[in-house]
Amino acid sequence: MIDGVIVKTLKRIPDDRGTIFKMQESCDSEFKGFGEIYFSTIYPGVVKGWHLHENAILNYAVVKGMIKLVLFDNREGSKTKGELMELYIGDKNYCLVQIPSGVWNGFKCVGNEEAIVADLITVIHKEDVMKRMNPDNCFINYDWSLNNR
């Protein structure tokens, strides 16, 4: 685990009308504030990343499909500096992943359907500094290709 990252199993509440997907409540112990929430889609096989938020804490949950979420800690003074972390989240593993500011992250849609990713961040984008890097050409040594085992 990367220092400061939280992974929390979330509830799905089904009934005969459909399903409620819980994400975060203000009374949750890991709640750090609200800036904005947005949803992004990602097509199968596509990588979105790398990116880093200097001020915002990210809270990801995938409400449809599956992604491989990869984190890289490059924070000065962090006890997990230089570590990578992989998580598979979505339909098969519905959870909240909280990413501290300063941690590089990216994700790839895995499977055969588009994924929908919810991101609740603690500050609005205009109050944050966001950095981006090409997922295939950067200092993070990570291979995004399918790893047959």
**Residue 141 falls inside a structural domain:** no
Tell whether 110 is covered by a domain. yes
pLDDT above 90 coverage of the chain, percent: 95
Structural domain tally of the chain?
Answer: 1
In a domain, residue 139? The reply is no
Dihedral, CA atoms, 11, 107, 27, 12, nearest 10 degrees? -10
Residue 97: which pLDDT band, with cuts at 50, 70 and 90? very high
Establish if 143 belongs to a structural domain: no
Return the H-helix or E-strand segment holding 42: strand 36-42
Give pTM, 2 decimals.
Answer: 0.94
Supply the range of the domain harboring residue 117. Answer: 6-132
- The 3-state DSSP class for residue 119 equals strand
What is d(CA 61, CA 72) in angstroms, rounded to the nearest whole number?
Answer: 18
Is residue 27 pLDDT above 90, yes or no?
yes
41 forms beta bridges with: 116
* Domain membership flag for residue 112: yes
Q: Is the pLDDT of residue 137 over 90?
A: no
At 93, is the pLDDT very low, low, confident or very high (cuts 50, 70, 90)? very high
Res 67: pLDDT: 98
* Cα–Cα–Cα angle for 118, 71, 21, rounded to 5 degrees: 25
pLDDT of residue 148: 83
Q: What is the mean pLDDT of residues 118-140?
A: 94
Q: What is the mean pLDDT of residues 15-44?
A: 96
**Residue 147 covered by a domain:** no
CATH of the domain at 96: 2.60.120.10
**pLDDT recorded at residue 133:** 96
Beta-carbon-side half-sphere exposure of residue 26 (alpha carbons within 13 Å): 3
For the beta carbon of residue 57, count every other beta carbon within 10 angstroms. Answer: 22
